[in-house]
A and B are shown apart, each in its own frame.
Chain A
Amino acid sequence: MQSAEEKFAQWTGFYRRAQAILRAGRRGLKKLNGAEITRLIDDYQALTADLARARSLGAARETVDQLNRIAVTGHNLLYGQIRLRESTAAARGFASFASAVRRHAWAVTLSALMFFGSAVVSFVAVQLHPSLAYDLLADEFLDFDPASPDNLHSIPSLARPVVSSLIISNNIQVTLLAFGFGLTAGIGTTVLLIFNGIHLGSVAGWMSLHGKDRALWGWIMPHGATELLAICLAGAAGYMLASAIIVPGRLRRATALKRVGAQALTIELGCMVMLVIAGVIEGFVSPSAIDYPTRIGVLLASIALWALYFLGAGRNRGARPAEPPGDSLVS
């Protein structure tokens, strides 16, 4: 039986060592030798046993608090090294994005309806009532001529890297908002999707009224499929979060959110990769001098590739894809 002083010296000694190792950062524990680690663990176990005994004997709150705080520090040190497999499983593998999308096809459908639905409605509305465009569109789009050499359609090659990175960061920001706003029970996501859909539809409607549609589609086609699909999928990730709030089922809302969160994150991260691809195409390919049939070819190729990926990847479990996962899918 140790005296109180010995106990106290043991606890504070453990606390000071734990603090020093924690302060040394991630490599702190790795520098210790076997005996030191054994001693650390022994001291931690003695400490937690003392804590449990103090609690069950009903010791003074101050005593329990002090022991508890030292134990929390020790816990942070010793368990801080644990990497649970669970925390990386969701983001593992090339196919996880595709299978998450397939599993939540309802959310993708809803998101696509909101986005393309409002685009089609506003396209038709502008065809029927061209004056609407003056309300829906900013001035620069009313005067916008996709075929003129002064605008985006022909970005000077020197500016292309900058334009490309601006497009990528802007689009990723939009998808992050569509994802996060799912937590407003989907209201924010819906507003964002409809707002962007109306913008797309009314620009297209206005251009086709003025006979510029061929130039516009030529501009959009190379990157369009990838970019618009990514925005739809980000909306779907937002609706997944919304579903946990609106229909949590038998779970508490916080629990339901936690369950769906990992899958929604996988989709959102996948969208970011898609938007980087789309942004590079939009910055370098779309403004280049390639002819119209090639543009259609790029569009068809990208549709085919995404269809192949989303419908096929990870279908047959067990068979691992040869392609390693993309960087931003790694969590």
Chain B
Amino acid sequence: MVMQESIYIATPDHVTLEFELAGPGSRFSAYVLDFIFNVLLIVIIGLVLYASGAVVSVRSLLGAAKGGSWGASWILALLVLIVFLINWGYYVLFEGLNKGSTPGKKRVGIRVIRQDGLPIGLREAALRNLVRAADMLPPPSYILGGLVMHFDPQGRRLGDMVAGTCVIVENFDLAAQGASGAAWASRVEQGRSREAVTLPRGAISPQQIGLIERYLARRHQLSEERRAQLAWQIAEPLLPLLGQDHDSAARRADRGAYCESLLLQVIELTQSKTPNITMAEKAPPAASLF
């Protein structure tokens, strides 16, 4: 089964929100980061307590000839418990107290939520992380958890199922969108997208419109290079329909940006009730539209 891209959750105020699910890749990078933070935390606390323990034992050795360093003994006992607590409690405490976010998840831009969309509490965090040993089988490979994630449409590991949670993507930077930002805002009142557009030179299928829309929706998250490359790949087959010359378009220095503007025009065409014919002006009188 293929993992869904997102889940839809109806909120109490009767709006359906779409949450983009986090894939195995971003979850793994968050795991690696958290693993590093976890080890660092243990090392730092260990060093601090070791240092203080050493001080106590030296003092008590100096004070009492019988070598009764009870302080060192208790501090060592405390260290054992703290290391154990960090080991098992790192995820429980961070996720439970920080709305499903750990330092690693925060860096990657993902978060754990309950399946009703609400942030998780300590109970969910404890459940999904205390059964982690099963997901890690055979340790530390995560093969069992990985397989379960692969076959679950929501990409949940076993711990997520027990706790009723899933992991979502949450990185969204309005600032990165610059001046073109407002363009999308003007299109709220316009409908009719995803319908076929008939131009004098031929029709653009709903599938192609869907592809263009997905590209436009995601383009701000792509690297510049990839963005230009995808724009060209999507626009290339449409060039004749739009009355553009293939070779001259291919040679343009701003090919990616140019293609993107063409794709935006296509979407605007889908939304205007009367197809805009300016793009087709150069077209010779068509013998037949079909």
Contact = CB atoms under 8 A, between A and B. Distances in A.
Interface of A: 4-5, 7-8, 11-12, 15-16, 45, 48-55, 57-63, 65-73, 75-76, 79-80, 82-84, 87-88, 90-91, 158-162, 164-166, 168-169, 172-173, 176-177, 179-184, 188, 241, 253-254, 257-258, 261-262, 264-265, 268-269, 331
Interface residues of B, number: 70
A60 B213 contact: yes
18 contacts: A7-B185, A7-B188, A8-B186, A16-B174, A52-B16, A57-B190, A58-B194, A60-B193, A61-B217, A68-B17, A73-B172, A75-B11, A79-B117, A80-B119, A158-B69, A176-B130, A257-B158, A265-B130
B217 A4 contact: no
Contacts of B70: 158
Given A52-B15, A59-B188, A90 B117 contact: no
Contact of A164 (B77, B162, B214, B271): B77
Contact of A62 (B11, B76, B213): B213
A269 B130 CA distance: 10
Given A48-B13, A188-B137, A15 B217 contact: no
Interface stretch (B33-41, B80-88, B247-255, B280-288): B80-88
Interface of B: 11, 13, 15-19, 68-70, 73-74, 76-78, 80-81, 83-84, 88, 99, 111, 117-119, 121-124, 126-127, 130-135, 137, 144, 152, 156, 158, 161-164, 170, 172, 174, 181-182, 184-194, 210, 213-214, 216-217, 267, 270-271
B188 A265 contact: no
Residue of B73, B170, B194 ringed by the most chain A CB atoms within 10 A: B73
A177 B139 CA distance: 12
A162 B117 contact: no
B127 A261 contact: yes
A283 to B, nearest CB: 9
B17 A71 contact: yes
Nearest to A7: B185
A184 B144 contact: yes
Nearest to A260: B162
6 closest A-B pairs by beta carbon, nearest first, are A57-B191, A8-B185, A161-B77, A61-B213, A169-B84, A183-B134
A151 B205 CA distance: 81
A53 B187 CA distance: 11
A91 B123 contact: yes
B131 A179 contact: yes
Nearest to B192: A58
Nearest to A156: B73
Contact of A60 (B83, B117, B156, B271): B271
Contacts of B156: 254
A49 B15 CA distance: 8
Contact of A8 (B127, B172, B182, B210): B182
A258 B156 CA distance: 13
B84 A172 contact: yes
B122 to A, nearest CB: 5
B17 A88 contact: no
A165 to B, nearest CB: 4
B162 A87 contact: no
Contacts of B88: 172-173, 176
B99 A265 contact: no
Nearest to B13: A48
Contacts of B127: 261-262, 265
A254 B137 CA distance: 19
Contacts of A177: 133
Nearest to A55: B16
A11 B69 contact: no
Contacts of A165: 77-78, 80-81
B165 to A, nearest CB: 9
A258 B267 contact: no
Contacts of A179: 130-131
A83 B271 CA distance: 43
Contacts of B19: 72
Contacts of A169: 80-81, 83-84
Given A60-B213, A60-B216, 19 more contacts: A11-B185, A12-B174, A15-B174, A58-B192, A59-B271, A60-B267, A61-B214, A61-B217, A62-B267, A66-B185, A84-B118, A87-B123, A165-B80, A176-B130, A183-B134, A184-B134, A261-B127, A265-B127, A268-B130
B33 to A, nearest CB: 19
A51 B19 CA distance: 14
Given A60-B267, A165-B81, A76 B182 contact: no
B234 to A, nearest CB: 14
B181 to A, nearest CB: 7
A166 B76 CA distance: 10
B80 A183 contact: no
A26 B146 CA distance: 33
A159 B73 contact: yes
A54 B188 contact: yes
